[in-house]
Every structure is written in structure tokens, then in C-alpha cells.
Amino acid sequence: MFKILTLGDIFGHSGRKLMETQVSSIKEQLGADMVIANIENASGGNGVTDANARELLSLGCIDVFTSGNHIFNQKDVNNILQQSDRLLRPANYPEPCPGRGWECYRIKGRRIAVANISGCAFMDNLDNPFLTFDKIWQEAQELCDIMCVDFHGEATSEKIAFGYYADGRANAVWGTHTHVQTADERILPAGSGYITDIGMCGPYDGVIGVQKEIIIKNFLTQRKTRHEPAKGASQINGALFTFDEEGKCLEITRLRRIYDTP
Ligand SMILES: [Fe+2]
Ligand SMILES: [Fe+2]
């Protein structure tokens, strides 16, 4: 058996603190062999700085970080994207962009490929995510025992369609980006573990991480103002995938924890 714990978008200081204080014990409680977390909102909810990326990479309890449409928001992220093979950006960004979109890791004797792909529905106009997966799969299938995809997308229809498209090739597909966990986890017909969105890690009493008063004001006035992370209670959302010796997904279980503290 091999268990992979996936964690949704890490949001701001609260999200980073949860990684530091909670993830080791959750990993142990759940018996996870590997942890993959989405880093795209780790710095104030807006991308990730070089310093915050290094800090999270050095925690030791998280093996791989995926990201999404906010990954290039902080100017100094380029170096760490080039230097670390444990930090991924969506594979369907154009070729000149720094960083890598997928990688194969060896953990506890298993070869695990992790791909990060962005959706295109209501998102940036990147290369076709379905064809991007085909290209990755051509290379990765010989290199890995378990293939995982963090599909970072807005539209549930695109994510579900991608799940079926990758079913039988990817062993696990989970969605990120909306910051709201969906209750549709299942094993698809050809054996892939799938969930439309695993949710976020960070402030609980906010609008997908941001102070609620700011977002309500935005909706009332149709004028955008600077986003600030919400304060107070916090949450960790994710999913645990369990695989057999052949890499077949046996089970997918949602993780959702709420804390009174930031
Ligand atoms: Fe996000
Ligand atoms: Fe996103």
C-alpha cells in the first residue's frame, strides 16, 4: 500500500503556519507516505515569494509543491522555480516560462510522477490541458509506478471531463483553485481516484481566504480593492489517496479540519 496526502491551496501566513504546525502530525495520523500541497497563494494569498517557497520546501513534511495561475505573481519566484525540482508550475504555460510542469520522484521505493496542469475554462489561455496531459503521459508512463495530476481549474465541467479523459492513465486526479472542497470523491470506471476540488489551507472565516468585508464591498461597488487575508479561525482541506502494490487507487478520503486559531 502507498498513501498520498494532497493539500489544497496554501493561503497566506495562516496557511503557511498550518503547514508548519499541523502537517507532520496529520501525515503520521493518516499514515501518508507522501504529501503534495498547492503553494500558489502562500504569500498574502497572491503567489509565492522566493523566501516563503524556500521556507515551505525546508519543512520536510511536504514532498512536492504544485501551483497554479498565481505562480508568477511574485517577481522573485523565478529562481526557485528553476532551482527546485520539488516546486511545479502548470505544465501548459508556454515554453519560455521558468520552471517545470511535471517530475518523477522516488519515495519509499515507489516512482511517483506528479503533473500540474491548469484548466483553460475561465482561466488563462494556455496550451490545451488535455493534450498537455497526453504529452506528459507519453514520457511519464515508462518512468513511474503512480501517476498523479493536480488539475488547477475553475470550471467543474472541465475538471470532471479531464478526470474521465485521464482515467486509466493517471492513478489520481484532484482539482485545486476554487478553494472550496467538493464532496464528489470517487474511483472512476478505469480505476483513477478523482475529486473535483480538494479545497484550501488557510483562513476559515473569509471569502476563499480573503477578508469577507473586502469581497462584499467589491461586489457592492464593482470596484476592486487590495485583498487582505482573513484573520481568526483556520482550515486544512485535502484528500488522501490509497494505492495498492500495482499503483491502482483503492480509496480516496477527504480531509477537512477546522481550527479556532489562525
Ligand atoms: Fe488558489
Ligand atoms: Fe488558482
**How confident is the model over 205-215, as pLDDT tens digits?**
999 999 999 99
Ligand at shortest distance from the CA of 210: 1
**Predicted confidence (pLDDT) per residue in 37-65, tens digit:** 999 999 999 999 999 999 999 999 999 99
Question: Which residues does residue 37 pair with via DSSP β-bridges, in sequence order?
Answer: 7, 65
Q: Grid coordinates in use for 237? A: 482541506
Contact at 8 Å (CB) between 130 and 165?
A: yes
Ligand at shortest distance from the CA of 68: 2
Q: Is 227 a catalytic residue?
A: no
Span from the CA of 42 to the centroid of ligand 1 (angstroms): 9
Residues 6+ apart with CB under 8 A from 191: 167, 168, 171, 248, 249
Q: How many domains does the chain have?
A: 1
DSSP state of 56: H
Neighbours of ion ligand 2 (CB under 5 A): 68-69, 177
- Which residue in 70, 152, 177, 179 is the catalytic one? 70
- The count of other CB atoms within 10 Å of the CB of residue 99 is 22
Note the pLDDT of residue 252: 98
Span from the CA of 84 to the centroid of ligand 1 (angstroms): 21
pTM confidence score = 0.98
Span from the CA of 68 to the centroid of ligand 1 (angstroms): 7
55-71: b (≥16 Cβ within 10 Å) or e: ebbeeebbbbbbbbbbb
Note the pLDDT of residue 44: 95
Span from the CA of 176 to the centroid of ligand 2 (angstroms): 7
Note the pLDDT of residue 224: 84
Q: Grid coordinates in use for 260? A: 479556532
Span from the CA of 179 to the centroid of ligand 2 (angstroms): 8
Average pLDDT, the chain: 97
On the question of pLDDT at 262 being above 90, the answer is no
Span from the CA of 244 to the centroid of ligand 2 (angstroms): 31
Ligand at shortest distance from the CA of 41: 1
Ligand at shortest distance from the CA of 209: 1
**Predicted confidence (pLDDT) per residue in 87-105, tens digit:** 999 999 998 999 999 999 9
Distance, CA of 42 to CA of 255 (rounded, Å): 19
The boundaries of the domain holding residue 191 are 2-259
Residues 6+ apart with CB under 8 A from 134: none
Task: Tell me the residue type at 224.
Answer: K
| Nearest Cα to Cα of residue 176 among 191, 196, 193 | 196
| Residue 247, domain CATH | 3.60.21.10
Span from the CA of 256 to the centroid of ligand 1 (angstroms): 17
Q: Grid coordinates in use for 151? A: 488539475
Distance, CA of 235 to CA of 101 (rounded, Å): 27
